[in-house]
Amino acid sequence: MKKKFFYSAALALFFGVSYAQVETFDLSDFKLPYLRYERLDLDFGLNSQNQFNSWKDTTDFNFSSSNISSRFNTGGIYSLYLNTPKQQSSYTIYTDIQIRPFNRSESVYNDESSAISSFSRMNFLISGSSRNRFYNRNRWFIETGPKIDLGYNLNNFKTIEKDPAGNTIYERIIKENNPQLNAGIEIGGGYGRIENVTDAQMALFILKDLLKENRLEKDPTHQEIYKLAELISRKRTQRFFDDRHRVIAQIGAIDSLLTSMGLVNQSDATYFTTIYDNWLYANNPQRESGFRVSGGPKFDFSASIFNESTKIIDSPLPDSEFKERYSYIDYGFWIRAIDEKPLNHFWQRTLSANLIYTFSKNTRKVQELPEEQRGQNNLELTLFGGYRYFPNTRSSVSIGIQAGWRKNDMERYFYPVDFDYEEEDLIYERIFAVPNINGYYYFSPRLRFNFNGSVSYNFYKTDNFMFITPPIQNGFSYVTNNRFNIFINAGFTYALF
């Protein structure tokens, strides 16, 4: 009896130490010198939004509105991540088709008159971008970030104005189309490095589950955990025409490594299904570790053509056509800092700060009128803090808050390009706070369910109606606005590889 008790106690102590060894592996210390991750996802989304606005200006004009909208979108994203001792680069190509079939808003004014608006919309977007950091031996780096977007928007609007008695005054139908081009680049330098630790997370998931199933023969050292994570990184990027052969090769490689290190000496169904389950589901949480700060100059260019046709029913006003060409060039600087910290195997903390200043020159040409310009200065500070929880291999949830401040000074009017006019600038100031929640669940290695939601509060002080549109602009000189939004989004993602 004493021998049996001693054996049980020793066994319990052994596995307790083993589990402690795995638990003490610090994700923050994990670094892989060579990585190449490639991914192609298809997205299918459903979005709904409800919003309520209330206005009050300096003339005690009161206004309230409510709206409800729906949105369906589909698209895809291809991403490539490269990591070497001297370089970190990411490349992304993104496409999206968005349809808004049902959107309705109702506005009520002081005198009980009202306006009911509905619209449908289709948007198409294709974009490409990259981020490249080239390092020396002391963690200093040079950074480049080019981007380009091509878009096309097609909109249909219908508005019914009613008098205080509820009688229809007129009905307006508007059709719009708007092709767009945006391009830009950020160039700079900085210090620090953020490492991808996703593969180490997966190694820990595998070893923890094998410990629970009593399938490990000895205590895995930190070096052995590191070797397993390195193998996972190499095998994740292999491409096979037949997905079954790919999984067989990957699981076989993990089994071979665990056996060669003496961590296992017997293979059974529980052992292999434990590895198989983790390989399919535990490689999805994206985790990073490190601190980085950088900054430098930036340049952006945008051009668009806006076409609009208006038809008014039950009104003596004639139908109309409108065409506007618009472009802007802006330049300035940016400063960005981010800190990613794995607190333990289950919790991740993210902190970031972003400061941007730009000076812009906006140019437009309306119909056959002469070309006009206006300038503006923009200063924006954004802060973010959040936590992410990984309870198991199939899911995660994150909570965070983003807050910021923006100030914009813009010339009051568009002026002819050869006209030098000194005029008081329009004022725009925004303060915002956005708590948010995000999460995912994996139904299969390829099919994933995603959700996110946010509650936002925005406070505006402005007489610049280019940035925020009051209910009626005539007579407005200065507006303060409080806006409260609730946003919920859910959708499915299918990964081709």
Task: Clarify whether residues 473 and 348 are in a common domain.
Answer: yes
Q: Are 311 and 404 within one domain?
A: yes
Q: Is the pLDDT of residue 380 over 90?
A: yes
* Cβ atoms within 10 Å of 278's Cβ, excluding its own: 22
Question: What local confidence, expressed as pLDDT, does residue 242 receive?
Answer: 56
pLDDT digits (tens, 9 = 90+) for 284-343: 667 899 999 999 999 999 999 999 998 888 777 788 888 999 998 999 999 999 999 999
From 81-90, 440-449, 482-491, the region with the lowest mean pLDDT: 440-449
> Total structural domains in the chain?
2
What percent of the chain stands above pLDDT 70? 84
Domain identity same for 401 and 370: yes
Distance, CA of 471 to CA of 485 (rounded, Å): 18
d(CA 322, CA 319): 10
Q: Are residues 170 and 207 in the same domain?
A: no
Helix axis angle for 198-212 and 222-236, nearest 10°, is 120
Are 480 and 56 a contacting pair, CB within 8 Å? Answer: yes
Same domain, 156 and 179: yes
Q: What is the spatial distance between Cα 94 and Cα 128, in angstroms, rounded to a whole number?
A: 6
- Report residue 66 as tokens: 């409510």
344 and 361 fall within a common domain: yes
Is residue 107 within 8 A of residue 64, CB to CB? The reply is yes
307 with 322, same domain: the answer is yes
Q: Note whether 54 and 155 are same-domain residues.
A: yes
Handedness of CA 261, 266, 270, 273 (dihedral sign): positive
The answer on 270 and 293 residing in a single domain is no
Query: What is the distance of C-alpha 96 from the center of its chain?
Result: 14
What is the rounded CA–CA span in Å between residue 267 and residue 283?
Answer: 22
Instruction: Give CA–CA dist 233/203, Å, rounded.
Output: 10
327 and 461 part of one domain: yes
Question: What mean pLDDT comes out for the span 233-248?
Answer: 69
| Residue 260 structural domain | 2-28+199-281
* Nearest CA-CA partner of 236 in 199, 193, 291: 199
Domain boundary among the residues 253, 281, 309 is at 281
Q: Looking at the structure, tell me whether residues 224 and 180 fall in a common domain.
A: no
pLDDT digits (tens, 9 = 90+) for 79-124: 999 999 999 999 999 999 988 877 788 878 777 788 888 888 899 9
Residue 193 shares a structural domain with residue 222 = no
Paired strand residues for 149: 127, 182
Q: Which of 281, 299, 332 is the last residue of a domain?
A: 281
Backbone φ, ψ for residue 165 (5° rounding): -85, -5
The domain that holds 480 is classified in CATH as 2.40.160
Please say which residue of 223, 246, 281 terminates a domain: 281
Structure confidence at residue 230 (pLDDT): 87
pLDDT over threshold 50, residue 175: yes
Residue with tokens 């980085």: 292
